[in-house]
Amino acid sequence: MPRTLALSALVVLSMTVVSAQTDYLARARALHKTSLLIDGHNDYPWALREEDPARDLDKLDILGADVADLIATIDHNLQRSGSDPRFQRKVMYDNVAQESVAEFRAMSAAQAQALLEAMDKWLSQRDLDVNPSRTGTGRMRAGIGIYYFEENLEQRSKDN
């Protein structure tokens, strides 16, 4: 797990250093030289290699931050073995009809948005930058991330 933390720190540090650059192609090249790039089964990394100036490299910053947060939560829970756990749950079934997946996608998006808006409202009321009259000690970063996933298992079977 220390290797996972080091990898997370490297990704976040690399994203921070790279994001300060203004030349997108230089940012992409620097990122490829210093960081692990996780391909989410899309053509984005290949397009960067082909020097496609239409691609928005700020998306890599989002990828790095979100992956680092998820890995840090998983690592925290594995290292602490039930002591002070962070919320980490998922629900998944592997034999759902396409029509039901479309319904689930819409329902989960609406309910996830409502939950995140409620969490945002609560946190913003406690943010010391937004509310300088609030008092407290230290400077902490806290949040919650929700992601949706789906996979066509029939297609995966054909591809294998």
The angle at the Cα of 151, spanning 154 to 59, to the nearest 5 degrees, equals 145
Quote the pTM value. Answer: 0.57
The full set of domain ranges for the chain reads 1-89, 90-160
Nearest to 24 by CA among 59, 53, 63, 64: 53
68 contacts: CB under 8 Å, gap ≥ 6: 8, 9, 11, 12
| 33's tokens | 């030289």
Residues 4, 71 contacting (CB under 8 angstroms): yes
What per-residue confidence (pLDDT) applies to 16?
47
Degrees to nearest 5, angle at CA 146 with 34 and 17: 20
What does the pLDDT read at residue 96? 95
pLDDT of residue 110: 96
How many Cβ atoms are within 10 Å of 148's Cβ, its own excluded?
9
Identify the CA nearest to 8 among candidates 64, 85, 90, 78. 64
SS3 category, 63: helix
Confidence (pLDDT) at 136: 93
Query: Per-10-residue mean pLDDT for the chain, 160 residues long?
Result: 47 46 70 64 60 66 81 88 84 94 95 95 94 93 90 81
For residue 38, CA distances in Å to 11, 55, 67, 131, 160 come to 10, 17, 9, 37, 21
Q: How many CA atoms lie within 13 A of 91 on its CB side?
A: 4
Separation between Cα atoms, residue 37 and residue 71, nearest integer Å? 14
Q: Does an H or E element contain 159, and which?
A: helix 153-159
